[in-house]
Amino acid sequence: MPLKVLVTAQMPEQWFDPLKRAGHDIVLGKGLLDHDELVEAAREIDAIVSVLTDPIDAAVLESGARGSLRVVGNIAVGYDNIDVRRAAELGISVCNTPGVLDAATADVAMFLILACTRRASAAEYALRSGAWTGWGLTNLLGSDLEGSTLGLVGYGRIARAVERRANGFSMRVLHHTRHDSGQSGYVADLDELMTESDVISVHVPLTPETLGMIDARRLRLMRRGGVVVNTARGGVVDEDALAGALESGELASAGLDVYVGEPHVAARLLATPNLVLLPHIGSATWGTRSKMALLACEDVCRVLEGRTPKNPIHA
């Protein structure tokens, strides 16, 4: 009997080719499913290929476990949308897609660093709104990257890819992780990293430990005119504190690709002019997204065949 795989997001057919080649019966989500639809659908299927907007919580997993759900393959490196602990208790495997999105996400982090330090959004707005009256010696001055210090919060694959890019811009790069990386530039104390850095770039997953990690107190530790960039998960940075630091001029600028409660973006953030805002496009290239989808589908196939997945999440 063919196994049933729910693919929640619409995508080009070749992205779920591994499932077709394995002969699985593919149930395509009609656009994004809401929570109740996921609970309902989970009862009838053996696997889910999910995306980060799918709330795969205890109710979805328990519904699946009453049927024959064996694996969830999340097309994302982050998996804060999945209750991995409950999945483990129920014997349901969870897989993610690390590695293939490092370059694309690091590009966006670097893009935000450049856009912030060179005031790209404000400059474009001035031009489009007709406020630009011509070249001016002191118009729209930003800050130099060369010789400035970049502090990476987290030192996983994406952070290291940002470091390689920042090296190309002659920045001094420091990093902080809970465990000593043993690499040059390691700073054991996050507060010290904040104090030492002109630009902070966030690269940690959202967990109870990292929730609100970049808060008002830590933002105040940064040099006046500092920049904060977040391409990880919205909840790691306290959005209100960030808006406050931008409004008061403590920070020169910030760049966000991720938000608390996406797709809603807090009105205070939208009203802050020196903030560059992107709609969670860190991994959004054709090449990267196709690799992510293929990786998730391949691991789903492995689990359904009784093999070990390449990228299992351990609760």
Residue with tokens 């619409």: 10
Catalytic option among 160, 280, 289, 302: 280
Residue 78 interacts with ligand DGY (CB under 6 A): yes or no: yes
Residue 283 interacts with ligand DGY (CB under 6 A): yes or no: yes
Count CB-CB contacts under 10 A for residue 143.
16
Q: Which residues contact 306 (CB under 8 A, 6 or more apart)?
A: none
Tell the smallest beta-carbon distance from residue 117 to ligand DGY (Å): 23
Q: Please select the residue that binds ligand DGY; options are 77, 122, 159, 173, rule is CB under 6 A.
A: 77
Q: Considering the complex, state which of residue 2 and residue 279 has its C-beta at the smaller distance from ligand DGY.
A: 279
Annotation marks residue 233 as catalytic: yes
Nearest to 164 by CA among 151, 177, 173: 173
DSSP letter for 16, please.
Answer: G
Radius of gyration of the chain (CA): 21
Structure tokens at 206: 């959202």
Residue 52 interacts with ligand DGY (CB under 6 A): yes or no: yes
> Which of these ranges, 23-31, 41-49, 74-82, 145-153, lies near ligand DGY under the rule CB under 6 A?
74-82
Tell the smallest beta-carbon distance from residue 77 to ligand DGY (Å): 4
Using CA atoms, how far apart are residues 116 and 121, in angstroms rounded to an integer? 8
Q: Considering the complex, state which of residue 16 and residue 259 has its C-beta at the smaller distance from ligand DGY.
A: 259
Residue 295 interacts with ligand DGY (CB under 6 A): yes or no: no
Annotation marks residue 35 as catalytic: no
Nearest to 257 by CA among 283, 277, 271, 241: 277
Catalytic option among 119, 233, 289, 302: 233
Residue 101 interacts with ligand DGY (CB under 6 A): yes or no: yes
Nearest to 70 by CA among 33, 104, 53, 95: 95
Q: Considering the complex, state which of residue 78 and residue 212 has its C-beta at the smaller distance from ligand DGY.
A: 78
Buried b (16+ CB within 10 A) or exposed e, 162-173: bbebbeebebbb
Annotation marks residue 124 as catalytic: no
**Active site residue ranges:** 233, 262, 280
Give residues in contact with ligand DGY (CB under 6 A): 52, 76-78, 101, 282-283
